[in-house]
Amino acid sequence: MTGIPALMQSSAWRLVMVTVLGFASGLPLALTGQALQAWLTVDGVNISTIGFFTLVGLPYTFKFLWAPLMDRFEPPFLGRRRGWLVVVQLGLAAALALIAGLDPREQTQLVALAALLIAFLSASQDVVIDAYRTDTLHTSERGLGSSLSVFGYRLAMILSGGIALVWADTVSGSGWAWPKIYRIMAVIMMILAAVSAMLLPALPATNTAPKSRAGNDLKGFAALVAAVAAGYFFTVKIASPAAKAVIPVKEWADLVSLLAGLAFTIPLGWWTSRKAKFETLNVSIANYFSMPGAAAILAFIILYKLGDAFAGALATPFLLKGAGFSQAEVGVVNKVIGMWLTIVGAIGGGVIMMRIGLFRALLLFGGLQMLSNLGFWLVAVLGKNAWGGGFLPAFNFVIVSLKEPTAIDWLLVCAIGFENIAGGMGTAAFVALLMALCNQKFTATQYALLSAFSAVGRVWVGPMAGVLATSIGWPAFFIFSTFAAIPGLMMLLKLRPVVARLEAPGGTSLMDD
């Protein structure tokens, strides 16, 4: 019997479990996105209503608000990380079973509430999984661990966002009803909860919750939620009308109003959390900023994938409208070939990171991300069939199938392939960096905050990218997106001593005391 506990504490077992947790993290995402939209469409819900369903994803954006509570409070079983993980995974299984019993046509509002509950529990699961992965992996394991986590995440998205559609297809698929598919996903989530309870390695006894007064944390959380609500009201009722009154271009007006809303909400939230003594949040943020170079690292987190975000924001509209590719061609190359190449890039990036270290991996992969934008520039300049093309034959291979042969353009394959491999590598290194930055007492809070900042480019460049592409044209736009990656790489060179300290042996971050 002694061999089993020893195996569960081994490096190989930790990496296997990190892969499983990546799968658990990715599974619910499409079930409130693409899969849910397909179900609503098939059941005859109108398009405008389906559009509003995108709002159920808001918990993923605001998960940092309740992450401090998951740092501070500990369930009475399995410890702080595994206990919360089992709770939210069982909750997800129940919520998926709940939505499977609803009729989208007759109970649209209840379906929306159930989807919102799934998104909330899924975002909470992400908080715990990010924290557990950071706490359990040693410094030497973080490169490969982050790539395996991305691998598991992508596989789950293929299942819930791809295979689920094939199962539901009445012509070329299995013809299963959507409620049956959601019940299957609920069963899978129950199995994952059992894995979390019985097979996840326990964290060291030194991994303890931060000390704070529970009442203050609950009061602080309520005050922070009120501040966010006030910020939303300010953005919608004051900033947006004012911006539209003085800025004629709608996209720029929307961008200005959003930035104004952030400029109002962030200081207000910070002030209210301090006044209400939200101790776990305040101490975790103070702990982060006590690290040498903390502000510069925060800027780097925002800038590192900025060029990638600019190009990715409009890649699909460019390929369809700007370059004239068909939906089938873009779908096959991007969703089939591109998805698998992202996985290859993530795993390859983890292996390379183990050999060259975090700093050089960030620099190398960041440079490749920057150069990958030039692939889209080539497509914009040379156009379709510049390098010839061919046909992808019909196939049915494990979890990906193609019913009819589809034309593919070799330049498109090269551009998307390079972009996905480089992006997968960059993501693996970036996740390893975020893990290294977190203090184990506040992992859930700090990782949620850092990941929120990392999403700034991806979320907010869209309006600017659209206006820019219209103004200067596609070739110049992709050149601009390439140069937009340079500030992040320059910032990385400046931060080399700080990143080198993060790679120090011992498995702790700079902030662990």
| Full DSSP string of 331-379 | HIIIIIIHHHHHHHHHHHHHHHHHHH-HHHHHHHHHHHHHHHHHHHHHH
φ, ψ for residue 484 (rounded to 5)?
A: -65, -20
Q: Rounded mean pLDDT of 474-489?
A: 90
Q: Is residue 207 part of a domain?
A: no
Q: In whole angstroms, what is the distance from residue 496 CA to residue 500 CA? A: 6
Question: With 0-12 CB in 10 A as exposed, 13-18 as middle and 19+ as buried, what is 203?
Answer: middle
> Residue 479's pLDDT is what?
92
Domain count, the chain: 2
Residue in this structure with the two tokens 């993980």, named with its chain if needed: 85
Range from 72-81, 98-107, 295-304, 368-377 carrying the lowest mean pLDDT: 72-81
> Residue 513's pLDDT is what?
46
Same domain, 465 and 354: yes
Amino acid residing at 235? T
Q: What is the pTM of this model?
A: 0.69
Same domain, 330 and 466: yes
> Residue 367's pLDDT is what?
93
Winning range, highest mean pLDDT, from 40-49, 336-345, 353-362: 353-362
Range of the domain at 413: 293-502
Amino acid residing at 361? A
Q: Is residue 454 part of a domain?
A: yes
Same domain, 190 and 300: no
**Spatial contact of 252 and 465, defined as CB atoms under 8 Å apart:** no
Can you point out the beta strands (E) in 144-190?
none
Q: Is residue 79 part of a domain?
A: yes
Last residue of a domain, one of 165, 181, 198: 198
φ, ψ for residue 400 (rounded to 5)?
A: -130, 130
Residues ≥6 apart with Cβ < 8 Å to 168? 38, 39, 42, 174, 175, 176, 177, 178, 181
- Of 157, 125, 507, give the one whose Cα is nearest residue 342: 157
Tens digit of each residue's pLDDT (9 = 90 or more) over 432-473: 888 778 776 677 777 777 877 776 666 566 657 777 787 888
Last residue of a domain, one of 153, 181, 198: 198
Same domain, 358 and 489: yes
- Of 361, 363, 335, give the one whose Cα is nearest residue 349: 361
The CATH number of whichever domain residue 339 belongs to comes to 1.20.1250.20
Q: Say which residue, 361 or 247, is predicted with more confidence.
A: 361
Q: In whole angstroms, what is the distance from residue 511 CA to residue 299 CA? A: 18
